[in-house]
Chain A
Amino acid sequence: MADATLVVGYAETPVTFASGRTAYDLGGEAYAQLLQRTGIDQERIDGFCATAALSEGSNPFHAAYMSEMLGLEVNWLNIASIGGASFLQGVGSAMQALQTGQCEVAVVVGADAPSTDNLTRYRGYRDEFQVPTGLVRPPGAFALLQSAYTANHGKPDDALAKLVVEQRSRALKNPHTVEKLRKPLTLDDYHQSRIIAPPLRLLDSVMFCDGANAVMLMQERTASRLGISQAVRIAAYAERSNHGIAQAIQPMWHSGFDYVGQRVMQQSGLSPDRIEMLQLYDDFTIALLLQLEQLGFCGEGQGRSFVLSTDFSSQSGLPLNTGGGQLSVGQPGLASGGLTMVEAVRQLLDDAGDRQAKHANNCLVTGIGGIAYARNWIMSNAMVLTR
């Protein structure tokens, strides 16, 4: 096999609510932790990517400022700016920069603090054609998605309840879980949860929080030169944005995950039945159901029965969101994609302590980014990691 790209280290801060801190402060904490954990000298880092931050929304130079703040002299500098897909996309771009030799040691930092500050102004068509309808925040858009899906495939509520309750129980074992969400949930709690935009319930939706995460990447040959043996291999990455945008009208719940799923399976030589762990982007419960269908774990419209009949616990053959997912850990804004990625790396390095899942040889990680006009999300992306 050709010189593979490796993830050689990870770091993350606890997820907090209204911390009063900035993305720079949180990102710095994750970065320092990453250096300490990998034992890599700062001077070796020659590639850097930060995810955009809602809390720094008015500054298009955010990643440049963060690299300067950290004192990094780099040959590759990038901002990943597609919402919840950003972190995974940053890792995918870092992989290309490493493979073409633009840099040798790359760091990707996700950091955001939208529960302290949210300075975004989306402008463009949104202010003129979407905001006047009242559809301003993500729950409205995902409610429409769930409405369309439900009308065609039936109510998936009992499956969504199962996902919410099980993820919460995993989050209770995660020391990084935000304080506000540290209480167990029952299926009844879900069904009695307040409807915030029908058919969407409060417990179907994430909560904006503050937090940061980071990973370090390098090629296999660099790792062996530096004497690094603990690493996870990137076996595949794919993304698709604006799925079907110029095609004839299609079901609005369709997304780029059909393509992305096939592509990462092809690249990694795997198939859905050979995937041994899932860290799926879970800003809303319906997104989990759609990904399971579109990535090929079950057929279209079969998400509910697949979820109800599948054991996703940490000792099962298909553990899902072993850290609790952002639904229950809290969503650190646009750093939320780092939450799934970091948990995948931690698990594959057998580093998860008392929430360590059954031995898995690989893990499928996903991201979702951007809300589109009257359609499904903008970007779908996925990565396969292997031991």
Chain B
Amino acid sequence: MNSESSTPTNLPRGYIQTSPYWDGLRERRLVLQVCLDTGRFQHYPRPTSIFTGSQNLGWQEASGRGRLVAWTQVNKTSPHMQGIVELDEGVQILALVLTANESHQLRVGQQVALTWPDSRLPLTGPIFIPTSD
């Protein structure tokens, strides 16, 4: 696993129409796909609603708050962990997770929130950081 970089800069784009998500990240907002029939979020973006099968889909900004349901670290040399975050909007997202400091360890069940790095480098996805112990 050590050969894997967690921050590639040449991202493949658009397996379907996904630009609202990527445009959102550039503006430091987490914009997710929403099924307009049911009002439910889905992530990753799909060509159809996984709830109804229709293409009545839209995009909406998510709160960026949620709960860590699992975490690991596939590359020990990277400061990033990989996690699954259950957002308050009721959708699970794979994301990078940072710890508050180097000695801190992530804990499943922790509250997390979005954090945006200062760098102007393109983001590869949202990054979360714990907001509770």
Contact = CB atoms under 8 A, between A and B. Distances in A.
Interface of A: 123-125, 127-137, 139-140, 143-145, 147-148, 150-152, 196-200, 245-246, 248-249, 252, 373-375
16 contacts: A125-B44, A125-B45, A128-B15, A128-B44, A129-B43, A129-B125, A132-B8, A132-B11, A134-B5, A136-B4, A144-B84, A147-B71, A152-B108, A197-B1, A197-B73, A249-B90
A133 B96 contact: yes
A246 B51 contact: yes
Of all A-B residue pairs in the complex, the 3 with the closest CB atoms, nearest first, are A151-B108, A134-B6, A132-B124
A140 B74 CA distance: 6
Given A144-B83, A144-B84, 10 more contacts: A124-B15, A127-B15, A128-B11, A134-B5, A134-B78, A137-B1, A137-B4, A144-B70, A252-B70, A373-B94
A144 B72 contact: yes
Contact of A140 (B18, B51, B82, B109): B82
Given A125-B15, A134-B74, A140-B1, A252 B92 contact: yes
Interface residues of B, number: 42
A132 B1 contact: no
A264 B57 CA distance: 38
A387 B7 CA distance: 54
A148 B50 contact: no
A246 B42 CA distance: 9
A139 B74 CA distance: 8
Contacts of A137: 1, 4, 74
A134 B92 contact: no
Nearest to B52: A246
Contact of A130 (B78, B90, B94, B107): B94
B69 interface: yes
Contacts of A196: 1
Contact of B15 (A123, A136, A151, A199): A123
A373 B70 CA distance: 13
Contacts of A143: 72, 74
Contacts of A199: 72
Contacts of A374: 84, 92-94
